[in-house]
Amino acid sequence: NAGVMQNPRHLVRRRGQEARLRCSPMKGHSHVYWYRQLPEEGLKFMVYLQKENIIDESGMPKERFSAEFPKEGPSILRIQQVVRGDSAAYFCASSDDRGFSNQPQHFGDGTRLSIL
Amino acid sequence: AQSVAQPEDQVNVAEGNPLTVKCTYSVSGNPYLFWYVQYPNRGLQFLLKYITGDNLVKGSYGFEAEFNKSQTSFHLKKPSALVSDSALYFCAVRDPYTGGGNKLTFGTGTQLKVEL
């Protein structure tokens, strides 16, 4: 499967724990985007990364949330000290190397985070 | 700032009848417009896009959409609906030329239900 791979598909954490969500982009893609989908809502942009660089983090909460996309390995969305309000589906998308191109973003199946 | 409105939470249509899912947008510059479909517990699948050129865009699974600049609309259409088209549909906009960057802004989604 050459699509966007996210793991885990489901993640359960207790309040105060850390959550790590992983995303491997499609082969040949070096642009990664993270979105959050709350119940009964559309997707909200969080962060846009290229290899080793954060390009746009205008949608990221100021505290507890961080993202990286290292030179080797998947992109990681990290949520520290999780709270109940962090419960949501987190989607990763990737696009090709043409920067500000008109190519669509391709989405993974998401990680559904539940906070107890 | 860019925004998308999907005025209908749900659209019901009989199989074999034409369907329309409405979308209007607001951007500062020229929009890139996209339609995605989401099935339960899955990620978003790309259906079609409008970047420039012909206002009628054809996409996957027999769907098409018409870009109307004067009405700032990008309605999704299909001449003959199938039960298997039942899913959640999202319209999205990107405005890369006036500060929107590569991020997608999504509408809140329209649940399409096709009945026999």
Mean pLDDT score of chain A: 92
Calpha distance A31→A54 (Å, rounded)? 10
Decide: helix, strand or coil at residue B85.
helix
Calpha distance A25→A107 (Å, rounded)? 9
More confident site: A48 or B96: A48
Q: pLDDT at residue A100 above 60?
A: no
Calpha distance A30→A41 (Å, rounded)? 28
* A111 and A5 Cβ atoms separated by less than 8 Å: no
Q: In this structure, are strands B56-58 and B10-14 parallel, antiparallel, or unpaired?
A: unpaired
pLDDT at A99 (0 to 100): 55
Query: In CATH, what number is assigned to the domain containing residue B32?
Result: 2.60.40.10
Question: Residue written as tokens 């790590």?
Answer: A20
Percent of chain A predicted with pLDDT > 70: 95
What is the mean pLDDT of the segment spanning A93-106? 78
Phi, psi values for residue A4, rounded to 5°:
-75, 125
Number of other residues whose CB lies within 10 A of the CB of residue B91: 29
- Mutation site, A102, A109, A112, A114, interface B, largest B CB count within 10 A: A102
Q: How many domains does chain B have?
A: 1
Q: pLDDT at residue B38 above 80?
A: yes
What is the mean pLDDT of the segment spanning A82-96? 94
Question: Residue written as tokens 């951007």?
Answer: B27
Contacts of B93 in chain A (CB under 8 A): none
Residue B25's domain comprises 3-115
Calpha distance B94→B31 (Å, rounded)? 6
Q: pLDDT at residue A1 above 90?
A: no
Residues of B with CB under 8 A from a CB of A: 32, 34, 36, 41-46, 49, 51, 90, 96, 101-109
Residue from B115, B106, B113, B116 nearest B40 by CA: B113
The two structure tokens encoding residue B92? 């999205």
> B21-59 burial by CB neighbour count: b if 16+ within 10 A, else e?
bbbbbebeeebbbbbbbbeeeebbbbbbbbeeeeeebeb
For residue A22, what is the enclosing H or E element?
strand A19-24
What is the mean pLDDT of the segment spanning A61-82? 96
What is the pLDDT confidence band of residue A103, given thresholds at 50, 70 and 90? Answer: confident
pLDDT at B98 (0 to 100): 60
Question: Cis ω on the peptide bond leading into residue A61 (within 30° of 0)?
Answer: no
Nearest chain A residue to B96 by CA distance is A100
pLDDT at B53 (0 to 100): 87
